[in-house]
């Protein structure tokens, strides 16, 4: 996906959120007549000297395939002004990045997402929140496997979720 296309999804999502006042996941769950899917995220994070590494594998346990979804990564610390983001990812705020998952086939995985994020200043720890920002209007009855909060200490150690 081109960077402009990701921004279009981000802008469209912000407009929906601004009008409705609900998150992208809640809006998807409230959609009528849309597919039902169980999106899950597995991965790890590590923090070392003001650089945060995030590696995520999106999965879909069904019962329907999804053509695409958008993963959101939110931090408890500000990002540096300049970021070199992976293809299909865009900055969505001072502490937020969104990335497309690619197609999520039934009982399958999307593209692996790897981020190396520079923080504005080094911190001893950062909380990383990972969730679904947009899922194409699908409902997801089990949010426990796609909403994660991970505390990463500035040790270089990897924390799995």
Tell me: pLDDT of 100 over 70.
Answer: yes
Helix (H) or strand (E) holding 41: strand 39-48
Range name among 42-51, 91-100, 124-133, 136-145 with the lowest pLDDT average: 136-145
Q: What is the pLDDT of residue 37?
A: 94
Gap between the Cα atoms of 109 and 103, Å rounded = 8
Enumerate the domain spans of the chain: 3-24+38-160
Q: What architecture is the 3-24+38-160 domain classified under in CATH?
A: Sandwich (2.60)
- pLDDT (mean) for 112-129: 98
Q: What is the pLDDT of residue 16?
A: 34
Mean pLDDT of all residues belonging to the chain: 85
- End-to-end CA, the chain: 26
Tell me: pLDDT of 104 over 60.
Answer: yes
């Amino acid at each position: 996906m081109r960077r402009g296309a990701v921004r279009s999804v981000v802008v469209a999502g912000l407009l929906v959120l601004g009008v409705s006042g609900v998150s992208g996941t809640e809006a998807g769950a409230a959609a009528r007549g849309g597919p039902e899917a169980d999106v899950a995220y597995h991965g790890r994070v590590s923090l070392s000297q003001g650089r945060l590494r995030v590696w995520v594998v999106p999965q879909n346990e069904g019962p329907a395939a999804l053509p695409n979804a958008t993963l959101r990564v939110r931090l408890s610390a500000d990002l540096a002004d300049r970021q070199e983001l992976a293809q299909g990812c865009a900055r969505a705020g001072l502490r937020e990045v969104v990335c497309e998952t690619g197609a999520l086939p039934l009982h399958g995985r999307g593209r692996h997402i790897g981020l190396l994020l520079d923080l504005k200043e080094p911190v001893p720890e950062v909380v990383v929140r990972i969730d679904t920002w947009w899922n194409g209007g699908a409902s997801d009855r089990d949010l426990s496997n796609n909403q994660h909060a991970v505390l990463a200490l500035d040790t270089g150690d990897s924390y799995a979720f």
